[in-house]
Amino acid sequence: MGADNDRNVTIAMIARLAGVSVPTVSRVINGRSDVAPQTRERVEDLLTRHGYRRRPPSRRPRSGLVDLVFNDLDSPWAVEIIRGVEDVAHGSGVGTVVSAIHRRTSSAKQWLDNMRTRSTEGVIFVTSMVAPPLQAELSRLNIPVVIVDPAGVAPQEAPTVGATNWAGSLRANQYLLGLGHRRIGFIAGPPQLMCSRARLDGYRAALEAAGIAFDDTLVRPGNFYHEAGYAAGNQLLALSDPPTAIFASSDQMALGVYEAVRKRGLRVPDDVSVVGFDDLPEVRWCSPPLTTIRQPLAEMGMLAARTVLRLARGEKIESPRVELATELVVRDSAAPPASR
């Protein structure tokens, strides 16, 4: 194809042939330095071979952006992930666009339509099932995708960043067992999420290792939010033989348990111990300060942002599946069980 046919050559076409994103080709054309040398060489070769005619640079070049997409934004842990993504994006001279698609097809379509109008470097999905049509369109546009805390099995080509949910749950329940608790209530997260299933499995593994039979009457469903923790806490405390400790799959649900305990005229940890999962900033200031499993939410956001920007520059990444370590943070909400 010669230069006289250059009107048929588009940046999207070059990106597809090079196996990189459209913003990467734009950076090569504009002479920016943040492109891997081998990627630059491959793109330059294709631009020359297909006779792409470079246009004069715009007087107002658009800066790159990272799209950060949540199902919902009404959770404090979302703020922690945003903080991590923005730290890395800001340091790289890249902006962040935060969206919520609310699990609706219409919202996802609107987001995709808006995204096409932006100079998006890459997309970070948080706890989302990436629908096949959405995945196919992002692939067609050569826009890299990273998934944080995937809801299910992630697309093969999409790197994921998560946390050691099973190990964290195991550690929390081992801690309660070590304090002497033998009836431990468990409040689960949404069953469709991999992290929820891993936390339930960790709870069961801790009981099994201690020689304690799994009792499904001590397990209640939840959704990671305060109201679900309050409802489940009330149900567990209303049992004829209530648990002496409750492990909630999120800090917000643990705080809901606090409210259920308080409204029954009981106290944490004198009457019932409570352990959460997340280590949100506010739980160190509640009364009593919450013992919890720290999930490195900001660090997960930072790693996701670094990964998607590396992919946008055409660089290879070391591992497509990364789990960051969780850790037990001991405060004042758990104690040995009171004698009954």
Spatial separation of the C-alpha atoms in residues 185 and 137, rounded to whole Å:
44
Q: What does the CA dihedral 24, 67, 303, 87 come to, rounded to 10 degrees?
A: 100
The structure tokens 């002497």 sit at 180
Does the structure show a pLDDT above 70 at 143? yes
Closest to 319 (Cα-Cα) out of 164, 146, 194, 195: 146
Return the pLDDT at 105: 65
Give the residue with greater pLDDT, 252 vs 22: 252
CB 183 within 8 A of CB 217: no
Mean pLDDT score of the chain, rounded to an integer?
Answer: 87
Spatial separation of the C-alpha atoms in residues 287 and 270, rounded to whole Å:
13
Does the structure show a pLDDT above 50 at 4? no
CB 243 within 8 A of CB 275: no
Give 187's strand partners: 220, 248
Contacts of 59 (CB under 8 A, 6+ apart): none
SS3 label, residue 124: strand
Write out the DSSP string of 21-85. -HHHHHHHHTT-S-S-HHHHHHHHHHHHHTTPPPPPPPSSPPPPEEEEEES---SHHHHHHHHHH
Write out the DSSP string of 273-318. EEEEEE--GGGGTSSSPPEEEEP-HHHHHHHHHHHHHHHHTT---S
Considering 87-101, 231-245, 298-312, the range whose residues carry the highest mean pLDDT is 231-245
Closest to 185 (Cα-Cα) out of 225, 227, 234: 234
β-strands 95-100, 65-70: how paired?
A: parallel
Which tokens belong to 103? Answer: 């699990």
Which tokens belong to 339? Answer: 């004698």
Q: Could you tell me the pTM of the whole model?
A: 0.80
> Mean pLDDT, to the nearest integer, of 59-63?
41
Does the structure show a pLDDT above 90 at 157? no
Which one-letter amino acid corresponds to residue 129?
A: M
Give the residue with greater pLDDT, 233 vs 17: 233
Closest to 190 (Cα-Cα) out of 244, 130, 253: 253
Least confident range from 76-90, 203-217, 307-321: namely 307-321
Q: Which secondary-structure segment (H or E) carries 126?
A: strand 120-126
Which tokens belong to 128? Answer: 């989302």
Give 327's strand partners: 294
SS3 label, residue 149: coil
Spatial separation of the C-alpha atoms in residues 245 and 137, rounded to whole Å:
48
Q: Give the percent of the chain with pLDDT over 70.
A: 89
Does the structure show a pLDDT above 90 at 339? no
Taking the CB of residue 319, how many other CB atoms lie within 10 A of it?
Answer: 9
Which one-letter amino acid corresponds to residue 292?
A: T
Spatial separation of the C-alpha atoms in residues 321 and 165, rounded to whole Å:
14
